[in-house]
Structure 1
Amino acid sequence: MRIKVTKLLNTRVGGAHTTYQTGAVREPGDEIEVTGTVQGEELDGNNTWYKVGDDANSHYWSGGAEQIDGVGSNYQQWMIDLNLPEIWGRYAGTGVGVAVVDTGIAPGITDLFYNQSKYYVYGDNVEIKDNAGHGTFCASLVGLRNTSGNYVGVAPGCNLFACKISEKRTFENTERDAQRYADAINWCAKKTDIHIVSISWSSSISNAATLSLIQEAINNAVANNKIVVCSIGNSIVYGDTRKYYPACLKNTIGVGMVPDKENGDPCINEFLSVVTNGSQIKSYNQNNELIADSGSSFATAITSGIIALMIQKMNFSYSFAAITEKLAAMTQKTTFIITEDGSSQVSFDLPLLKPELLLNFFNDVV
């Protein structure tokens, strides 16, 4: 988000209040990149402040500046489709902690900030550094700051945490390694500053004991007021209904991509809670390259970012039941025709996230 100063404006270092230290004085016409808005001291009837997201925790009172993002901004089309630029005028997921359970996170990524002292890795000699790229791609979608001109992060004001459960894009031994889901989720459950556990990594697991461990961890996380968001998986066969985990366990929000003949379809089963954009989504890989990719993994990261915006909107007064209820109210059963060359058409009614219903939530329209 970008703002233009309209009158002499003090930089407030440390918070959204005039009692905080005064930094540089910004003059009319100055343009400043900010991550979003927060509620702070009320001045002249206006308590909205712009948050920069820098190390100094700088803020600017919105009464002395105006948002100048517009048609020319470098938004991705799916962001416009979901009305995110309008939502970002008030909410950026500020203060919401999101843990991304995946292949880790790469250092040195443009605008990607995460907690470098508090993270989970699956072994004593394992580094959090992402060598596969999937974790970095998903983390960027959740919470990239969006200050460099490339709009990627859905909740640019959130606090990111990284959980590494694999070095590669697949487990070496799924039945053995899948217990890492439980370990990572339980780690998140203990952290009071984590609110969302985003798992874009899905696996086919047949071991009942392993599934029980993961279910217990999810239940533990929900009992500690965490929202567990999981990828439903991508179809391998035509009209794929197979179950991938952890999404197909209780107390999760299962997310799939909108079916797209060119870019893929989600798995379709009773655990699918919402479908949203997942085709040709741009984000950063481990080499700091902005690339496009498709899949339910990325629809999951987008949904986790949206839930971060929701939690800020709800002033952190939320529960798993409340989030799932409100998210369901933003969806509408929509018929999708899924075809494959040489096969007959099959139709599915899927819970599509509707942009107008999403915007209604943030505008308090009942």
Structure 2
Amino acid sequence: MRIKVTKLLNTRVGGAHTTYQIGTVKEPGDIIEVTGIVQGEELDGNNTWYRASDDVNSHYWSGGAEQIDGAGGNYQQWMIDLNLPEIWGRYAGTGVGVAVVDTGIAPGITDLFYNQSKYYVYGDDVEIKDNAGHGTFCASLVGLRNISGNYVGVAPGCNLFACKISEKRTFENTERDAQRYADAINWCAKNPDIHIVSISWSSGISNAATLSLIQEAINNAVANNKIIVCSIGNSIVFGNTSKYYPACLKNTIGVGMVPDKENGYPCINEFLSLVINGSQIKSYDQNNELIADSGSSFATAITSGIIALMIQKMNFSYSFATIIEKLAAMTQKTTFIITEDGNPPASFDLPLLKPELLLNFFNDVV
């Protein structure tokens, strides 16, 4: 893959650290062939470095360059359907920080890198590693990098942050669990290197005090210019008195899942901002195995990656309101027919993310 230098950049000979010898100085606009990405010294909250192709001992700090191609890898059909390969020729989410609030991220996953010096865990004795696989699956969808030529995430140039709120794939809907949500979101709010908070969880609760606790944390994050992206759950729930938080709260982007055809069984409710294909999506689990799964969790991770691409395209000049506006312009009301055993067919008009409208945004088509 290649990177383009954005400011004066020293070649570090010997390792990914400023204590190593300075080699050639690269000028803004220089194009450099690199063979991979490593984690090294953290500078300005960024510990991602590129390894030179002509000398494996030479490295370039990613804060002084942007990836201009090389997303590559094995494209999944939904990626092609969304026009992502064309977008990756110009944008990879470079420099955008995405926090994945989930079950942690497993170490040793092919091409999956995250900030190992800055992360959130819900207890003093809790390790960041993922024992359930859900967080690793979602993080891979957001930001898997193509070094080995395998699969790639939606925003392969983004910087991932892990926020672990559970050891399991489910919550018990208690005040303790809600506090974990709030603490993780507040941690993200304080981190200037995080732009997107991706929450592929939804929990049913009707306790006003608990909802208020999470809402306050979300408001705090949005006030610090974080974009909160949430799963709306894996069922059809309209008019139900139970709330599915955090997506039911204000200042969030609620994401639903639809199958890849306009018939089937979607995951939707009245809190969604958009729906996107989340059916039979391939990603890595905690054992570094490629598996397929379906649900709004994965539609949420895909949407978070798309927003990372958008933020880079917008030169980091964005707000929650502008992201909502741009996303709404990419959707189109689409009718889905739902058929359940023993029930008459039901139709839903859903705000489906349309690939041609997504591409229009990146091509500056009004």
Asked if these proteins are the same fold (TM beyond 0.5), I'd say: yes
| Aligned partners of 1:226 and 1:320 also within 8 Å | yes
Name which of structure 1's ranges 292-301 and 54-63 shifts more when overlaid on structure 2: 54-63
What is the CA RMSD across the aligned residues, in angstroms? 6.5
Q: Cα 1:320–1:328, aligned 2, differ >3 Å: closer, same or farther?
A: same
> What residue ranges of structure 1 are gaps of 5+ in the alignment?
none
**Change in 2 beyond 3 A, CA 1:42/1:164:** closer
Q: CA deviation at 1:199?
A: 0.2
CA distance in 2, matches of 1:73, 1:176: 41
User: Residues 63, 142 of structure 1: CA spacing in aligned structure 2 closer, same or farther, 3 A cutoff?
Assistant: closer
Asked if 1 retains the 8 angstrom alpha-carbon contact of 2:47 and 2:115, the reply is no
What residue is the counterpart of 2:275 in the other structure? 275
Q: Residue 340 of structure 1: CA displacement?
A: 1.2
Query: Structure 1 residues 300-309 or 2-11, which shifts more?
Result: 2-11
Deviation at 1:205, TM superposition (A): 1.6
After TM superposition, give the deviation of residue 232 of structure 1 in Å.
0.8
Shift of 1:202: 1.1
Per mean C-alpha deviation after superposition, the further-off stretch among 65-74 and 213-222 is 65-74
TM-score (norm 1): 0.81
Cα shift at 1:176: 2.8
Aligned equivalents of 1:63 and 1:190: distance in 2?
21
Counterpart-to-counterpart distance in 2, 1:339 and 1:241: 23
3-state SS, counterpart of residue 356 of structure 1: helix
- 1-structure distance, mates of 2:7, 2:249: 54
Gaps of 5+ in 2: none
On the 8 A contact 1:228/1:252 being kept in 2, the answer is yes
> Contact conserved, 1:261 with 1:338, CA < 8 A, in 2?
no
Report if aligned partners of 1:37, 1:90 keep a CA contact under 8 Å in 2: no
Deviation of 1:208 (Å):
1.1
CA distance in 1, matches of 2:117, 2:233: 31
* Displacement after TM superposition at 1:63 (Å): 20
- What is the TM-score normalised by the length of structure 2? 0.81
Residues 167 and 150 of structure 1: CA distance in aligned 2, closer, same or farther (over 3 Å): same
C-alpha change, 1:24 and 1:196, in structure 2 (3 Å) is same
SS at match of 1:204: strand
Q: Deviations over 1:248-273 (max 9, x none)?
A: 10000000111469997444333210
**Residues 1:21 and 1:291: Cα distance change in structure 2 (over 3 Å):** same
Deviation of 1:139 after TM superposition, in Å, equals 0.5
Question: What CA distance in whole angstroms lies between the structure 1 residues aligned with 2:45 and 2:206?
Answer: 58
Change in CA separation of 1:57 and 1:249 when aligned onto 2, cut-off 3 Å: farther
**Take 2:52 and 2:107, find their aligned partners in 1: how far apart are those partners?**
21
| Contact 1:230 1:246 (8 Å CA) reproduced | yes
Return the offset for 1:343: 1.7
Greater CA deviation, 294-303 or 229-238? 229-238
Change over 3 Å in CA distance of 1:314–1:26 after alignment to 2: closer
CA contact (8 A) 2:101 2:198 kept: yes
> Helix, strand or coil: the match of 2:135?
helix
SS in 1 for 2:269: coil
1:228-254 alpha-carbon deviations (Å, 9 max, x no partner): 000011116799896411001000000
Shift of the alpha carbon at 1:170?
Answer: 1.1
Equivalent-residue separation in structure 1 for 2:247 and 2:240 (angstroms): 15
Distance change in 2, residues 1:334/1:59 (3 Å): farther
Structure 2: how far apart are the matches of 1:7 and 1:320? 29
Q: Structure 1 residues 49, 138: closer, same or farther in 2, change over 3 A?
A: closer
Q: Percent identity?
A: 92
